Amino acid sequence: MTAGVVKRARLRQFLVLSPPLLWTVLFMFVPYAILVVYSFWRAQFPLAVPDFQFGNYIEIFTDPQYLNVLLRTAKIAGLVSLLSLLLAFPYAYFLVFKVRKPGLRLTLYMAVVAPLWVSYLLRAYTWKTILGTEGLLNSFLMSTGILSEPSSVFLYNQTAMIITLTYVFIPFMVMPIYAALEKIPPSLIEASGDLGEGALATLAKITIPLAMPGIVAGFTMTFCLSFGDFISPILVGGPDGLMIANVIAAQFGAALNWPLGSALALVMLVIVLGIITASDRFERLGQARLS
């Protein structure tokens, strides 16, 4: 009787877990396995031929073209993450410690989070409209007499990329920082003031260390999302803003070099997983020091 009940319970668990497990295997592990296999093949029309070799990886790490794109992508993602942090932390701090009315706090919080409900493409395209030759920025500068004619200097460069990606991904920085700051007891801030510490000292010694898990999580999410972005380089980046995701798409598309595209995708995946692992260890180290 007991054995039968246990078997039925296990069968129910298996039936419940089977669909998501099957979905994960089919749409995550199988595609990654195909990428791994293809990355060691050799490109030959129409797609590739089985030929186990490391030529694709050697090309990635010896060809300056691919190294420059990887470095440019990392630089843009790093600057986007840093700028998002510099904007998000003061905003989240203001919401948690300065805004007393819950309704107003929720409204200001949702003002940052609500754009996530809008299409990513639409949000990115908004900045193409703002920075374009007929956009709001050029119109304002011409109306004030700063420019005599529209300028194309604001679009199709890395600066436009950084501005657009910061706008698109800053909610992913605000949310974890806000959650981390909200967990800090106000009594700690008050006690620091009672002990004679100034606002900056309290911020450096108490607030930032306690908010570090949120900062690390936000920085990691923003960096990884920016690192793998594909749309913004097309809309506002131009040749100067070409990123690794666009190179991968080109290899699978016009270049018809699926093995090289697979190798590039796996290199990108390893970099992202390395960043996530490093941030997790950094967060654990910080928590260990605080405890």
Residues 245/229, Cβ–Cβ less than 8 Å: yes
Mean pLDDT of 172-199: 88
Residue 4 has what pLDDT?
66
- Beta-bridge mates of residue 44: 47
Q: Could you tell me the residue ranges of all domains in the chain?
A: 1-39, 54-290
Q: What band does 247 get if pLDDT is binned at 50, 70 and 90?
A: very high
- The pTM (predicted TM-score) of the whole model is 0.89
Give CATH for domain 54-290: 1.10.3720.10
Using alpha carbons only, give the angle 65, 68, 70 rounded to the nearest 5 degrees.
110
The DSSP H or E segment spanning 198 is none
The percentage of the chain sitting over the pLDDT mark of 90, rounded to a whole number, equals 56
Q: Within 10 A of 269 (CB to CB), how many other CB atoms are there?
A: 14
Using alpha carbons only, give the angle 235, 241, 246 rounded to the nearest 5 degrees.
75
- In terms of pLDDT, which residue wins out, 192 or 64? 64
Q: What is the pLDDT of residues 1-12, one digit of tens each?
A: 466 666 777 777
Q: What band does 17 get if pLDDT is binned at 50, 70 and 90?
A: confident
